[in-house]
Structure 1
Amino acid sequence: MNNQQLTIHKSMPVSVVIPIYNGENDLPELIECLEQQTYPQELVEYLLVDNNSSDRTAEILTNAAKKAQEKGINLKHLTEATIQSSYAARNLGIRQANYNILAFTDADCRPQSNWLRELVKPFQDSQTGIVVGEIIALTGNSLLEQYADKKELMSQKFLLEHSFCAYGQTANIAIRKQAFRDVGLFRPHLTTGGDADICWRIQRESDWQLKSAPEAIISHRHRSNFKTFRSQFHRYGCSNEYLHELHGVALMRELTTKEIFYRLSRWIIKEIPKNSLKLVLGKASAIDLINTPIDLIGFHARTQGQKSSKLPEKAKQIERL
Structure 2
Amino acid sequence: MSFLPFVSVIVPIYNGEADLPPLLACLQAQTYANFECLLVDNNSNDRTAELLNEIEDPRLRSLKQSEIQSSYAARNLGIQNAKGEILAFTDADCRPEPNWLEDLIQPFCDPAVGLVAGEIKALPGNTLLEQYADRQETLSQKHTLNHPFCAYGQTANLAIRAAAFKEVGLFRPYLTTGGDADICWRILRETAWQLRFAETAIVRHRHRTTFSELQSQWRRYGRSNRYLHDLHGIDLMREPQFGEYRYRLLRWILKEFPIATLNLIKGKAAFVDLINTPIGLFCLHARAQGQRQATLSPQAHTIEPLIQQPQNSLN
1:160 aligns with 2:112: no
Tell me the CA shift for residue 61 of structure 1: 0.8
Tell me the CA shift for residue 158 of structure 1: 1.3
Match of 2:173 in 1: 188
Matched AA of 2:50: E
Tell me the CA shift for residue 99 of structure 1: 1.1
Matched AA of 1:47: L
Aligned with residue 59 of structure 1, among 20, 43, 50: 50
1:83 aligns with 2:74: no
- Give CA deviations for 1:110-150 in whole Å, capped at 9, x if unaligned: 00000000000000011100000000000001100000001
Matched AA of 2:49: A
Separation in 1, partners of 2:226, 2:240: 17
1:31 aligns with 2:16: no
1:47 aligns with 2:32: no
Aligned with residue 16 of structure 1, among 9, 15, 20: 9
Separation in 1, partners of 2:122, 2:210: 15
Could you tell me the TM-score, scaled by structure 2's length? 0.97
Separation in 2, partners of 1:305, 1:99: 37
Separation in 2, partners of 1:258, 1:75: 54
State the SS of the aligned residue for 1:212: strand
Separation in 1, partners of 2:60, 2:46: 20
Separation in 1, partners of 2:192, 2:164: 9
Separation in 2, partners of 1:257, 1:80: 44
Matched AA of 1:174: A
Separation in 2, partners of 1:158, 1:170: 14
Match of 2:312 in 1: none
Tell me the CA shift for residue 216 of structure 1: 0.3
1:298 aligns with 2:283: yes
Moved over 2 A (4+): none
Separation in 1, partners of 2:53, 2:35: 18
1:137 aligns with 2:122: yes
State the SS of the aligned residue for 1:46: strand
Aligned with residue 223 of structure 1, among 208, 220, 223: 208
Percent of aligned pairs with the same amino acid: 60
Match of 1:268 in 2: 253
1:174 aligns with 2:159: yes
Separation in 2, partners of 1:272, 1:246: 41
Separation in 2, partners of 1:160, 1:229: 22
State the SS of the aligned residue for 1:158: helix
Matched AA of 1:14: V
Could you tell me the TM-score, scaled by structure 1's length? 0.95
Separation in 2, partners of 1:8, 1:169: 24
**RMSD between aligned residues:** 0.5
Aligned with residue 104 of structure 2, among 116, 119, 126: 119
Match of 2:313 in 1: none
Match of 2:310 in 1: none
- Give CA deviations for 1:5-53 in whole Å, capped at 9, x if unaligned: 1x212xx11000000000000000000000100002xx11000000000
Tell me the CA shift for residue 271 of structure 1: 1.0
Separation in 2, partners of 1:98, 1:138: 31
Separation in 2, partners of 1:170, 1:81: 21
Separation in 2, partners of 1:259, 1:87: 37
Q: State the number of aligned residues.
A: 306
- Give CA deviations for 1:139-167 in whole Å, capped at 9, x if unaligned: 00110000000100000011111110000
Tell me the CA shift for residue 313 of structure 1: 0.4
Separation in 2, partners of 1:274, 1:77: 54
Runs of 5+ in structure 1 lacking a partner? none
Match of 2:232 in 1: 247
